[in-house]
Amino acid sequence: MIKTNIDEAIARIDEWKDKDISYSPVAGGITNPNYKVKVDGKNYFLKIPGDGTDFINRDVCHNANEIADKSKAGPKVYYYFEDTGVEIFQWLDGYRQVTYGDIYDEVIFHEIFKKIKAFHNIDTKPLKLKQSIFEQAWDMNARAKKAGYLPPFNDRMEYYLKTIEEALSNSCELKPCHNDFWTNNLMYNEETKDLKIIDYEYASMNDPCVDLGLISATNYFTEAMDVEMVKCYNDGVFDEIMFAKVKLNKIACDIKWAYWALYQAASSNVEFDYMNWYGQKMARLQHFWLDPRLDYWLELVQDRKIFR
């Protein structure tokens, strides 16, 4: 992929030539340099691929953004340049990033899963990448090893990753999935009560329970919230097997993102404390894998018989 900068990216857009243009960096991203670009008074969001992101398939990312646009789960997509990976979107005027406290708002909570389900289930061509959370996690595991550091819990992380992967191997339902549901990737408009999901760089055809497990883990959902999430996503009906899959994917997702943080700490040029990010994941993992129901969930998703 060809490296570029903001001035070169702007210069390639023929429709913007000879117009009044200004731009400023957008804070909050931890993977790419992002910019707010004003063109004759209209705002756009411009993203340039960051260093250390060679593992991201930008064509698939663009495909996912188009699906999000079509499903109304994400912002409108205006431009994409395949050679540089630069993508330009609607600027979400009137929207703010969702905070951790927002998940205790019932309206916002339900809007989140309304939009997630819309993205998962829109009638469209599938994403060109089929990649499970386990493939992503093992890839990040290898990258972290190459970067020169593995956590002291690595043996346990690899054990649970392998065990959960085997348990879920025959129950994966493939849908377009976001795979990166941390709070900053959710934008909410207080006036219209609308929510948008942004940043589809890790999107793939994957099991929807990965997205549910990830957003639950990242936002520190309570047990009751996990139950409500499953009911909300499943048209008001609680599904115990889906619940178990969500719980197991919470572990797999935090393992993947812990390895990701270690790799980014060694390779990224973005100013962000990736080791603090890693620490959050490890703190949660040490809680998740001590749950006494873990063996029950593993047996439940594999439909193992109770009696001999």
Its pTM stands at 0.89
pLDDT at residue 302 in the model: 94
d(CA 201, CA 63): 10
pLDDT at residue 84 in the model: 93
pLDDT at residue 182 in the model: 84
- At the fourth CATH level, the homologous superfamily of domain 96-301 is Aminoglycoside phosphotransferase (APH), C-terminal lobe (3.90.1200.10)
Alpha-carbon torsion (101, 234, 193, 200), positive or negative: positive
pLDDT tens profile 32-67? 889 999 999 999 999 999 877 788 899 999 999 999
Q: Can you list the residues of the chain whose pLDDT is less than 50?
A: none
pLDDT at residue 234 in the model: 94
pLDDT tens profile 92-144? 999 999 999 999 999 999 999 999 999 999 988 889 999 999 999 999 999 99
d(CA 157, CA 152): 10
**Start and end residues for every CATH 3.30.200.20 domain found in the chain:** 6-90
**Start and end residues for every CATH 3.90.1200.10 domain found in the chain:** 96-301
pLDDT at residue 271 in the model: 83
Helix/strand/coil (H/E/C) assignment for every residue in 138-158: HHHHHHHHHHCCCCCCHHHHH
Encoding tokens for residue 13?
């857009």
pLDDT at residue 149 in the model: 84
pLDDT at residue 121 in the model: 94
**CATH number for region 6-90:** 3.30.200.20
